[in-house]
Structure 1
Amino acid sequence: MISITPYLQADTLGEYQDKLLELYMADAALNKTIPESIRKSTEWLLRQVNCFYSNKIEGNPTHPKELLKTQEVGGSDNAREFTGAILELLAHLEAQLKAKNTSTSMAGVCKQDFIKGLHQSFYEHLPEELLTVKDTGGRVAIDKNGKPLLIVPGEYRTLPVKVGTHEPPVATELNAYMSWLEQMFNPERIHGTNRVIAAAALHHRLAWIHPFQDGNGRVIRLLTDCYMRCAGFGGYGLWSITRGFGRDTQSYYAALAEADKPRQGNSDGRGILSDAGLLHFTKYFIETALDQVKYFSDLLEPRKLGIRVDYYFEMRAKGGLPSSSGDDLPLLKIAARGIYRLLLEKGAMSRAAICQHLGKGEQTLRPILKQMDSEGLVSAKPKKDIELKVSTNAVEFLFPQIW
């Protein structure tokens, strides 16, 4: 029998019940405000943000500019040329896409096979040197046969581990704990704002169980993204809680450590873990989510975004901006601003429609569209409508403080 409080009841949260309602309303407002024309590009950007911060939490030192530069040169198609740190980021990007595109029911999001699949999708294409487990001192861990211990993608650990001062359940107990988690956190059995309370507890409880030899943190944050979508946040993907965790890693780990604490007396719940500690983490989780949805709502507010777009293209017309690699960007005619603003407002359009709206001839706009396509500002494939994109060179200008 698993003697752990799965998640707290809403009435224990006090004023944080109001913050939960505020969170849902802020998400709904963001979801309603953002036009379809920019959703695809914004979701692409959020995957980069999630990738950077989730791996930063795990100690990956790669700068966002390196990640964006990697996207420019073909990503995983040129995997042999990249460092291990970059390969981890590329694997994380692919795992995010696979998780988003995997068809699973609401009940399936906590199934053991789904959670194992998240782990497998991250590790399955990494080289063996990145599957080698290291101890806290950075030394290669050795298995019972005297060989280097390797992570097995999608499989639970078989050896004991220690995370800081916390000693997770032994390997022989993992199936029981994961079956408990699968049953208790099924979102079909949880309703209303309780799903966010459950999402917070799930995040900690899976970290506490620590089912995999390595990669638990990344899997937990991937699972949290999936669970938040099930919790009814229609705008999730336009904002992300992972950025909040990664912006202040010390507070993130401190909040998790509070929930790791054993029960502090008879008034602190009935399980082996502290309900007060879980309450602390749940409040931290709600505050972090609310902070992030507010940040992205302000960042993506159409009027403010439009001002930054105007200024970016005015600077490009003067030749005053560097690329993501630090080189000077070539001049870009000011007509590019009109194209970008039009696509931002209307969505994908044919070349003829763009010319008609802007009152420009096709010969005038053709070289501008070609340059915008080469820089990743638009997608201008033959016989296809022109689509808006977020250029790696424009990210930090159009979306300040995203990193």
Structure 2
Amino acid sequence: MAFTPYIPQDKAPEDLQDQVVQIMRLDAALHAKIPSPLRVPMMNLLRVVNSYYSNKIEGNSTVPADILRAEDAPQEAKGANDLQEIKRHIEAQRRLTNDPIDKVEVCTKGAILRLHREFYDGVPEEMLDIQLNDQGETFRMVPGEFRQFGVRVGQHIPPTVEQMQSHLNDFERLYRLDWIHGLSRFFAAAASHHRLMWIHPFMDGNGRTGRLFTDQYLKAAGFGGYGLWSMSRGFARNVGTYYEMLRAADHPRKGELDGRGELSDSGLLRWTRFFAETALDQVQYFSAQLEPEQLNQRIDVYFEMRSRRALLDSKGDALPELRIEARDVYKTLLYLGDQQRADIQARLGVGERTTRSLLSQMAKEGLITLDGRKPVSLSLSRHSIEFLFPYLW
């Protein structure tokens, strides 16, 4: 076998086991406590966050304000390749949510090919031309097909094409989640992220495909709150250490006490610790942001400032005045779920014209969703996100 699959639960240091237990506990609490009406808007927002950070790791320079603006007005999102790259990444995540990969199939070659194909779906053909060498030779990559050439990535020389197929067979067998239980599922998620990057199965897009894989694997492993927190955000906020720890797990084993495969078990442990620290940091951050009392206070302050026209947008311009009743509409939708317009009017105790005007402004700003005769539902606007979820970016 070329590599140790993961740090077994019974071999993991006690402090690392404790850390994983804490991650699992916080993830379960986050999954349970988030108000149901906020779940879909938050998961939609986290797709944007995930895409921004995963692509930032690869050098994409698009700023969050442009992404959010493009989400508000998709017809304006044409043009820059960097923004198109992020939009495709968001759409890939959306498709994977609507048509999820089977939990047992998540580590199969077919699933990994699908992740790669989903990301590259609809890209301009010139973005599929991959440079092979310093002489300028190029190769047209086919989305969803494994590489057919040997490659070098910095100091890392990935397995040959023949070796790669053998390693992918091992990968499919070793990381099957119906064979892994307890804390070992988290340790397997950590190790499989590195092992897939080490195998480097594609000519391009390995990093983003690997992070999409880890998103799917953690969900399949039973982390019900995942999607309300993001590993990519943690990796990108410490990208130097991310690459350093991946390289540590790339190292060949150092003697008989460092594992039985080609790769260092001590390097794998360093990577697993980093993965766990990143996961804990992220689930703690999002748990704090979604803590009901704190979120309630931020909502109060946001709408009070809006009612006084005292809140500025990202360009420094004052946002338009919004009646204070908007706060009551927002909280009603947050804690009681979707509402009929007549019920909102009755709760507010104002006239139909006032209600219609208020809801229209809130919908225009993206705070709520109005869809014909359907009940009014909660949303997260571009302007409210920065206030309600500080330090998100």
TM-score by length of 1: 0.94
1:323–1:393: 8 Å Cα contact kept in structure 2? yes
Describe the shift of the 1:185–1:159 C-alpha distance in structure 2 as closer, same or farther (beyond 3 A): same
Describe the shift of the 1:386–1:141 C-alpha distance in structure 2 as closer, same or farther (beyond 3 A): farther
Instruction: In structure 2, give the amino acid aligned to 1:316.
Output: R
Instruction: Select the residue among 80, 103, 115 that pairs with 1:118.
Output: 115
Q: Supply the distance in 1 between the matched residues of 2:212 and 2:201 (Cα, whole angstroms).
A: 15
| Counterpart in the other structure of 1:145 | none
Question: Would you say 1:166 and 2:156 are equivalent positions?
Answer: yes
Instruction: In structure 2, give the amino acid aligned to 1:49.
Output: V
Q: Supply the distance in 1 between the matched residues of 2:100 and 2:209 (Cα, whole angstroms).
A: 18
| Counterpart in the other structure of 2:30 | 30
Question: Would you say 1:48 and 2:48 are equivalent positions?
Answer: yes
Aligned length: 392
Question: Could you tell which deviates more after superposition, 241-250 or 354-363?
Answer: 354-363
1:206–1:220: 8 Å Cα contact kept in structure 2? yes
2:2–2:167: 8 Å Cα contact kept in structure 1? no
Question: Would you say 1:108 and 2:111 are equivalent positions?
Answer: no
Instruction: Output one character per residue of 1:50-94: Cα deviation in whole Å (capped at 9) or x when no partner.
Output: 0010000011011111111111221xx556x32010110011001
Instruction: In structure 1, give the amino acid aligned to 2:58.
Output: E
Instruction: In structure 1, give the amino acid aligned to 2:2.
Output: S
Q: Supply the distance in 1 between the matched residues of 2:304 and 2:136 (Cα, whole angstroms).
A: 55
Q: Supply the distance in 2 between the matched residues of 1:400 and 1:156 (Cα, whole angstroms).
A: 40
TM-score by length of 2: 0.96
Describe the shift of the 1:221–1:248 C-alpha distance in structure 2 as closer, same or farther (beyond 3 A): same
Instruction: Select the residue among 295, 314, 330 that pairs with 1:340.
Output: 330
Deviation at 1:134, TM superposition (A): 4.0
Counterpart of 1:394 in 2: which secondary structure? helix
Question: Would you say 1:298 and 2:295 are equivalent positions?
Answer: no
Q: Supply the distance in 2 between the matched residues of 1:189 and 1:250 (Cα, whole angstroms).
A: 34
Q: Supply the distance in 1 between the matched residues of 2:7 and 2:50 (Cα, whole angstroms).
A: 27
Counterpart of 2:240 in 1: which secondary structure? helix
Instruction: In structure 1, give the amino acid aligned to 2:224.
Output: G
| Counterpart in the other structure of 2:125 | 128
Instruction: Select the residue among 171, 181, 187 that pairs with 1:181.
Output: 171
Q: Supply the distance in 2 between the matched residues of 1:128 and 1:78 (Cα, whole angstroms).
A: 21
| Counterpart in the other structure of 1:389 | 379
1:132–1:140: 8 Å Cα contact kept in structure 2? no
Instruction: Output one character per residue of 1:320-339: Cα deviation in whole Å (capped at 9) or x when no partner.
Output: 22334554322111111111
Q: Supply the distance in 1 between the matched residues of 2:105 and 2:22 (Cα, whole angstroms).
A: 28
Structure 1 residue runs of 4 or more that deviate by more than 6 Å after TM superposition:
none
Deviation at 1:359, TM superposition (A): 2.5
1:396–1:402: 8 Å Cα contact kept in structure 2? yes
Q: Supply the distance in 2 between the matched residues of 1:345 and 1:84 (Cα, whole angstroms).
A: 40
Identity of aligned residues (%): 46
Counterpart of 1:109 in 2: which secondary structure? coil
Instruction: In structure 2, give the amino acid aligned to 1:7.
Output: Y
Instruction: Select the residue among 263, 273, 287 that pairs with 2:253.
Output: 263
Matches within 5 A, 1:316-395: 316-324=306-314, 326-395=316-385
Instruction: Output one character per residue of 1:297-354: Cα deviation in whole Å (capped at 9) or x when no partner.
Output: 0011111111111111111112222334554322111111111111111111111121
Instruction: Select the residue among 124, 127, 139 that pairs with 1:149.
Output: 139
1:110–1:181: 8 Å Cα contact kept in structure 2? yes
Question: Could you tell which deviates more after superposition, 259-268 or 168-177?
Answer: 168-177
Counterpart of 2:129 in 1: which secondary structure? coil
Q: Supply the distance in 2 between the matched residues of 1:140 and 1:335 (Cα, whole angstroms).
A: 65
1:355–1:362: 8 Å Cα contact kept in structure 2? yes
Q: Supply the distance in 2 between the matched residues of 1:357 and 1:303 (Cα, whole angstroms).
A: 22
Q: Supply the distance in 1 between the matched residues of 2:119 and 2:141 (Cα, whole angstroms).
A: 11
Instruction: Output one character per residue of 1:93-139: Cα deviation in whole Å (capped at 9) or x when no partner.
Output: 01111222224322111111111011001112010222222479xx7
Counterpart of 2:357 in 1: which secondary structure? helix
